[in-house]
Amino acid sequence: MTIGNVIKKYRKNKGMTQEEMASRLGVTAPAVNKWEKGNALPDVALLAPIARLFGITTDELLSFKDELTDEEINRYLSEIQKDLESKDYHEVFLSVKEKIEEYPNCEKLIWQAAVILDAKRMTAELPNKDRYDSVIFGWFERCLLSKDERMRNQAADSLFNAFIRQKNYKKAVQYLDYFSLENPERKRKKALVDSKTGKRAEAYRAYEELIYTGYQHIQMTLNDLRILYMEDDDHEMAKKLVEVSSSVASAFEMGKYNEVCFGLHVAIWEKDAAWTAQLMREILDSIGTIGDFSKSKLYQHMMIKSLDPDFSVGLRQELLKSLGDATFQYMQGNEDWEKLKSDVYE
């Protein structure tokens, strides 16, 4: 916002005419008019008196108000939402536009205000909704220049969704470059575009790959959390995490082996002989299902390499050999364990 615009804004807020302002400053009304039109600048010596007249700082007068606190932003956003319920959309839009001009570098304000206005115009009965595109999209574009990666991602996400809404898929896909190659959101959004542009096979495969990698990420996180609870000697939560891991494996159709294998670590930690024997029996019996997820329709479009049968055989042999290890010393004498060690399971 130029100093002329600032002067005009605060003069009107004070209810003063150009003549009244000029009289208080000891200048002519035409001089004030030239300031507000941007045809001239006030003398440096007048900056402090002008600021005092408006009850603002010289920084505010010179539009150096670049940032608002999170509390101020949240309060203003609440005001916008309330105004949108009771006032004309265009009136609120112009008010927000003026606020953003006042704080041109406050990225949080710009992005969140743009999101609110964009969402409201989609749900409200407004004529010529697209007339606001250039300004609202311009605010999002401004946030793409942020040094904050999260802000860039949020702005790119808003623009991607806006152009998907308009079925401008060529434009939408341009914003995927703002997401790193490792970000699953990039792959999900690309799959969405593929699903709308005739590349349905690619879309199916990408979505299924996201499900599979999502499962792996969830299980790794649950495992890390389970270890943390074990380190803090929290037996209840450690067992709870085993139950959750098993349920997740079932929900993602990963096969019986993956449903029963997670508890062994906790059973050994607790030296629970009955539970250890039960789990080991279930693990040995279900080793053949270790690759069963490839048979699930959840992953039918993925190119999954078949598991070598020798892998399951080798894993079973390794588990059988481990039954006599020192790790399982607490199991010696357990009837079920001794049965496992016999030739019955070989």
Residue 190 lies in a domain: no
Is the domain of 30 the same as that of 116? no
74 plus 56 within the same structural domain: no
317: which 2 tokens? 């042999």
- Asked if residue 109 and residue 85 are part of one domain, the reply reads yes
Quickly tell me which residue has 């309060």 as its tokens.
75
> Of 180, 211, 244, at which residue does a domain stop?
180
C-alpha distances in Å from residue 260, one per residue of 65, 107, 207 = 60, 49, 26
pLDDT band (50, 70, 90) for residue 2? confident
Q: What is the mean pLDDT of residues 278-291?
A: 91
Are 202 and 191 a contacting pair, CB within 8 Å? Answer: yes
Do 122 and 149 lie in one domain? The reply is yes
Question: Do 312 and 210 share a domain, yes or no?
Answer: yes
Local confidence band at 57 (pLDDT 50, 70, 90 cut-offs): confident
CATH number of the domain enclosing 43: 1.10.260.40
Q: Give the pLDDT mean for 156-185.
A: 95
For residue 40, tell me if it sits in a domain.
Answer: yes
Q: What percent of the chain has pLDDT over 70?
A: 97
Contact 120, 107 (CB under 8 A): no
216 in the same domain as 93: no
Tokens at 177, concatenated: 């470059």
* CA distances for 19 relative to 16, 25, 33, angstroms: 8, 10, 9
Report if residue 136 sits inside a domain: yes
For the segment 133-155, the average pLDDT, to the nearest whole number, is 94
Q: Mind listing the pLDDT tens digit for each residue in 230-244? A: 999 999 999 999 999
Indicate if 15 and 122 belong to the same structural domain. no
> 196 lies in a domain?
no
Q: Is the dihedral of CA 265, 266, 270, 275 positive or negative?
A: negative
Mean pLDDT for the chain?
A: 91
Domain containing residue 172: CATH number? 1.25.40
Per-residue pLDDT of 184-200, as tens digits, reads 999 999 999 999 999 99
Whether the Cβ atoms of residue 66 and residue 108 lie closer than 8 Å to each other = no
Task: Taking the CA atoms of 156, 160, 166 and 168 in sequence, report the sign of the dihedral they define.
Answer: positive
Residues 87 and 156 in one domain: yes
Q: How does residue 246 score in pLDDT terms, banded at 50, 70 and 90? A: very high
Total domain count, the chain: 3
Q: Could you tell me the pTM of the whole model?
A: 0.75
pLDDT value at residue 19: 94
Residue pair 144/155 in contact (Cβ under 8 Å)? The answer is yes
Residue after which a domain boundary falls, among 61, 79, 100: 61
- Per-residue pLDDT tens digits for 84-99: 999 999 999 999 998 8
pLDDT of residue 185: 94
Are 217 and 318 part of one and the same domain?
Answer: yes
| 255-272 pLDDT tens trace | 999 999 999 999 999 999
Q: What is the C-alpha to C-alpha distance for residues 118 and 114, in angstroms, rounded to an integer? A: 6
pLDDT range class, residue 318, cuts 50, 70, 90: confident
Confidence of residue 69 (pLDDT cuts 50, 70, 90): confident
Q: Are residues 335 and 241 in the same domain?
A: yes
Cα 149 to Cα 236: distance, rounded to the nearest angstrom: 39
pLDDT of 343 strictly over 70:
no
Q: Identify the CA nearest to 45 among candidates 25, 20, 21.
A: 25
Short-list 54, 48, 45, 44, CA closest to 6: 54
- Structural domain ending residue among the three candidates 12, 27, 61: 61
Structural domain for 100, as ranges: 70-180
* Residue 160 placed within a domain: yes
Which pair of tokens denotes residue 28?
């002519």
C-alpha to C-alpha distance for 183 and 309, rounded to whole angstroms: 34
